[in-house]
Amino acid sequence: MKRLLLTSLVASLILSVGSTAQAEESSTTEETEKQLMLGKRAFIRCVACHSLAEGEAHRTGPNLHGLFGATAGQKEGFAYSDALKNSTMEWNDENLRAWLLSPATVIPGNKMAFGGVPSEKELDALMAYLAEMTK
Amino acid sequence: MNKINRRQFIKSTGGFVAAAAAPAVHANGKSDYDAIVIGAGLSGLHAAMLLEENDMKVLVLEGRQRIGGRVYTLMHVPGKPEAAGEWIGGNYARMIATARKLGMDFWIPEQGGPDRGWAYEINGQFLSAQDWEKHPLNPMQGEDRSIPPHRMLWTISNKDNPLADQPLDAWLKPEFAKYDIPFDQYLRKRGYNEETIRLMDVTIHTNHISNTSALHELRRYHVNSFNAKHKFYEGNSYAQIKGGNSLLTDAMADSLKQQPLLGKTVVHFDQTSTNASVHCADGTKYTADHIISSIPMPVLRDITFSPRLPEQMQAAVNEVDYGLSMQAHFLIKKKFWEEDGMEPSIWSDRSIERFGVRNVNNEDGPPAGVAFINGEASHKYRLMSDEAIFNYVANELAEIRPSMKGALDPILIQSCERDPHGAGDWVYWKPGQIGKYAANMRERHGRIHFCGEHTAIMERGMEGAFESGERAALDVLFS
Ligand SMILES: Cc1cc2nc3c(=O)[nH]c(=O)nc-3n(C[C@H](O)[C@H](O)[C@H](O)COP(=O)(O)OP(=O)(O)OC[C@H]3O[C@@H](n4cnc5c(N)ncnc54)[C@H](O)[C@@H]3O)c2cc1C
């Protein structure tokens, strides 16, 4: 009797723990995917200038593969402004967020013509998208 | 999801999240379309393409019987001149990417451009380019004397440009509001004499140099300089669509799932809390969740809104003007430049202003030329018949240059202003108008969004049109 009770308790516990974890996982996946879809839309502002996948050609701006952790202005085959080339800035979360709000403020004299992402919501989504797509 | 799956997922347009994040198609069952775009110029076509790419059902309505708006290649005129949007700059990222995506090539046609050979007629004297620097009619000092008359406006305007090295949206920042003054006043303050200012006024598209904001002109040359930073076609920072810029707007329209409807002149907009409608001159009505209008401001003066436009916006619509120009195209029957040994093209301070010659060596068909008349000088042609314009222009040219007598056969007259759907060339802000209106031009009016070159923040001209279409499409996608 006691044993039976314990078994069923454990079973139900496992079951409930299992289902909560599953639900949590699927809701975070859903959140992430939603964020990435928004990010894809925000990337409409960028796509004319920037390709994402490894080895894709530069456009008016450089290819962005391997962006996070890279030093700014160093991709081969792109004619950067001297301002960016000599900046030694690292593309980390903080610098990239500031850049996407106003590139001209972060490094004056660079040649990226971008007015800035207009809202925090869009910026969050764009950052998530870039992190995923430039890996 | 692993990386590959997620990438594929994002790249494909389907998926449950796409449906959840995108505004539901026909959410309220009251609209036929997610969005209607008015105008099949660059801004409207770009907005429509972006919305369709994001799974929206879109209809484009165009008033004219052709696609392209202020992109209009005169395909049947020798040398295929561009009647409007001509040069694509190195920083025209959206336009270049769209052209490449649609399989277009670029070229620099033999049309001479700014560097073609010009002879000048100034104060009634006809002179060769090589005589200008030392000529007594040259009003400039020092090294400026080497600037040829047809380059004065550009070169002097961009000298020590206070916007240089600023971001492209600097013209909207309060610290530069002090330049929102008459352009001639700005030039005088910088020490330029009256004759220099008069010659700079000749080919300005605006209604006299005193009637355009210095800040507007400084922005123009600032954007131009920025374009020179990017090379995109065989080491050049400018080019055109090979075969004519109209091939691009045609291809953009062709790429749409739903083809634009032509001959649909919008005369009235109305909206409720659930949708918005447009009413056309032919009595038809179309309804959508969102409307994007690319109609130029002076054309909007004849269009009504219910509810009415906000006061500030209506005031801008009433007061902001566009630059004007008139082109008289001719076939050249004899090579008059070989007769008198002067440069083929003419730049003049009388009311024909410029006569540019193409195909000097029969490169792309027989020689042809265009009298290109800008700004207030174009006013006198407004009410003239085509025939009267051809005669007047041909007589003026023969008077300047006797070798041109009987050299010309009329082809056609072209002006963006002589069309109910065109307002002129591009927006020009009068002194004080940038501070007063420029910030408000892109505010949505309920479900109605505005795009068009005049609403661009960073870019100008054709890329400004693209930028504005992108901004309006994103407004719809994120609302
Ligand atoms: C002579 C000239 C030279 C130029 N040179 C250059 C250059 O070298 N480089 C450059 O970048 N730019 C240049 N431009 C500017 C450039 O052409 C324009 O900025 C750009 O094409 C504008 O695009 P848009 O979509 O904003 O407007 P438009 O192309 O004008 O589009 C608006 C559309 O709306 C339609 N429409 C208007 N009213 C209605 C209505 N009531 N109902 C339905 N439809 C309507 C019109 O027919 C038109 O198709 C030049 C322009 C001119 C005129």
List pLDDT tens digits, range A61-89.
Answer: 999 999 999 999 999 999 999 999 999 99
In a domain, A119, yes or no: yes
How many independent structural domains does chain A possess?
1
Q: Is B442 left (phi over 0), alpha (psi -120 to 50) or beta?
A: alpha
Are the Cβ atoms of B93 and A59 closer than 8 angstroms? Answer: yes
Residues of chain A with C-beta less than 8 angstroms from the C-beta of B167: 102-104, 113, 115
A64, A52 Cβ separation under 8 angstroms:
yes
Per-residue confidence (pLDDT) for residue B380, from 0 to 100: 86
User: B81: Cβ below 6 Å to ligand 1?
Assistant: no
Q: Is the pLDDT of residue B43 over 70?
A: yes
Per-residue confidence (pLDDT) for residue B112, from 0 to 100: 55
What percentage of chain B reaches a pLDDT higher than 70?
A: 93
**Of B376 and B337, which is predicted with more confidence?**
B337
Per-residue confidence (pLDDT) for residue B207, from 0 to 100: 86
In a domain, A8, yes or no: no
Q: Is the pLDDT of residue A17 over 80?
A: no
Per-residue confidence (pLDDT) for residue B373, from 0 to 100: 94
Per-residue confidence (pLDDT) for residue B362, from 0 to 100: 85
pLDDT digits (tens, 9 = 90+) for B254-273: 999 999 999 999 999 999 99
Q: Is the pLDDT of residue B372 over 70?
A: yes
B15 in contact with chain A, both atoms CB, cutoff 8 A: yes
Of the partner residues A103, A111, A119, the one whose CB lies closest to the CB of residue B230: A111
In a domain, A27, yes or no: no
User: What average pLDDT does this structure show over A8-19?
Assistant: 46
User: B112: Cβ below 6 Å to ligand 1?
Assistant: no
Question: Which CATH code is given to the segment(s) B114-138+323-415?
Answer: 3.90.660.10
Q: What is the span of the domain harbouring residue A90? A: 36-133
Of the partner residues A60, A81, A111, the one whose CB lies closest to the CB of residue B96: A60
User: What average pLDDT does this structure show over B151-162?
Assistant: 95
Nearest ligand 1 atom to the CA of B462 is 11
Highest-scoring range by mean pLDDT, B251-255, B383-387, B437-441: B251-255
The CATH number of residue A50's host domain is 1.10.760.10
pLDDT digits (tens, 9 = 90+) for B441-451: 899 999 999 99
B217 band by pLDDT with thresholds 50, 70 and 90 = very high
**Of A26 and B365, which is predicted with more confidence?**
B365
Residues of chain A with C-beta less than 8 angstroms from the C-beta of B54: 41
Query: Rounded to whole angstroms, how far apart are CA atoms A92 and B313?
Result: 41
User: What average pLDDT does this structure show over B48-59?
Assistant: 97
Q: Is the pLDDT of residue B88 over 70?
A: yes
What are the φ/ψ torsions at residue B33 (nearest 5 degrees)? -135, 155
**Angle at Cα A32 formed by Cα A63 and Cα A69, nearest 5°?**
35
What is the complex's ipTM, to 2 decimals? Answer: 0.85
A22 band by pLDDT with thresholds 50, 70 and 90 = low
What percentage of chain B reaches a pLDDT higher than 90?
A: 84
Per-residue confidence (pLDDT) for residue B15, from 0 to 100: 36
Per-residue confidence (pLDDT) for residue B36, from 0 to 100: 98
Are the Cβ atoms of A44 and B50 closer than 8 angstroms? Answer: yes
Between the CA of B264 and the centroid of ligand 1 the distance, in Å, is 17
User: B358: Cβ below 6 Å to ligand 1?
Assistant: no
User: B423: Cβ below 6 Å to ligand 1?
Assistant: no
Between the CA of B260 and the centroid of ligand 1 the distance, in Å, is 16
Per-residue confidence (pLDDT) for residue A23, from 0 to 100: 59
Which chain A residue's Cα is nearest to B23?
A38
Per-residue confidence (pLDDT) for residue A21, from 0 to 100: 55
Residues of chain A with C-beta less than 8 angstroms from the C-beta of B91: 60, 111, 113
In a domain, A19, yes or no: no
User: What average pLDDT does this structure show over B127-135?
Assistant: 95
Which chain B residue's Cα is nearest to A81?
B229
CB atoms within 10 A of CB A75: 17
Residues of chain A with C-beta less than 8 angstroms from the C-beta of B230: 60, 111
Q: Exposed, middle or buried: residue A47 (CB in 10 Å: 0-12, 13-18, 19+)?
A: middle
Of the partner residues B7, B9, B93, the one whose CB lies closest to the CB of residue A60: B93
In a domain, A55, yes or no: yes
DSSP of A4-63: HHHHHHHHHHHHHHHHHHHHHHHHHHHHHHHHHHHHHHHGGGTTTT---STTPPP-SS--
B29 band by pLDDT with thresholds 50, 70 and 90 = low
Residue B304 in tokens: 């009504």
Mean pLDDT for all residues in chain B: 92
Which range among B38-52, B62-76, B352-366 shows the weakest confidence by mean pLDDT?
A: B352-366
Q: Is the pLDDT of residue B308 over 90?
A: yes
B279 band by pLDDT with thresholds 50, 70 and 90 = very high
User: B86: Cβ below 6 Å to ligand 1?
Assistant: yes
Per-residue confidence (pLDDT) for residue A27, from 0 to 100: 73
Query: Rounded to whole angstroms, how far apart are CA atoms B357 and B339?
Result: 15
Query: Rounded to whole angstroms, how far apart are CA atoms A56 and B207?
Result: 47
Residues of chain A with C-beta less than 8 angstroms from the C-beta of B458: 113-115
Question: Which B positions 167-196 lie with beta carbon below 8 A of chain A?
Answer: 167-169
A20 band by pLDDT with thresholds 50, 70 and 90 = low
B43, B18 Cβ separation under 8 angstroms:
no
B26 band by pLDDT with thresholds 50, 70 and 90 = very low
In a domain, A18, yes or no: no
Task: Report the gap between the CA of A49 and the closest CA in chain B (Å).
Answer: 6
Q: Is the pLDDT of residue B27 over 80?
A: no
In a domain, A121, yes or no: yes
* H runs (alpha helix) in B32-81: 42-53
In a domain, A42, yes or no: yes
Mutate to test the pocket of ligand 1, among B294, B450, B471 (most ligand atoms within 8 A of CB): B294
Residues near B423 by beta carbon (within 8 Å), at least 6 away in sequence: B296, B297, B298, B299, B322, B416, B417
B9 in contact with chain A, both atoms CB, cutoff 8 A: yes
Q: Is the pLDDT of residue A28 over 90?
A: no
Query: Rounded to whole angstroms, how far apart are CA atoms B104 and B90?
Result: 16
Given CA atoms A92, A93, A94, A100 in this order, what sign does their dihedral have? positive
Per-residue confidence (pLDDT) for residue B194, from 0 to 100: 98
User: B87: Cβ below 6 Å to ligand 1?
Assistant: yes
Q: Which CATH class is domain B6-69+243-320+439-477?
A: alpha beta
**Of B31 and B331, which is predicted with more confidence?**
B331
Which chain A residue's Cα is nearest to B230?
A60
Of the partner residues A37, A104, A109, the one whose CB lies closest to the CB of residue B18: A37
Per-residue confidence (pLDDT) for residue B211, from 0 to 100: 96
Given CA atoms B137, B140, B145, B148 in this order, what sign does their dihedral have? negative
Task: Report the gap between the CA of A10 and the closest CA in chain B (Å).
Answer: 30
What are the φ/ψ torsions at residue B278 (nearest 5 degrees)? -120, 145
pTM as predicted: 0.91
What residue owns the CA closest to ligand 1's atom 26? B452
Question: Which B positions 398-437 lie with beta carbon below 8 A of chain A?
Answer: none
Q: Is the pLDDT of residue B433 over 60?
A: yes
Per-residue confidence (pLDDT) for residue B115, from 0 to 100: 58
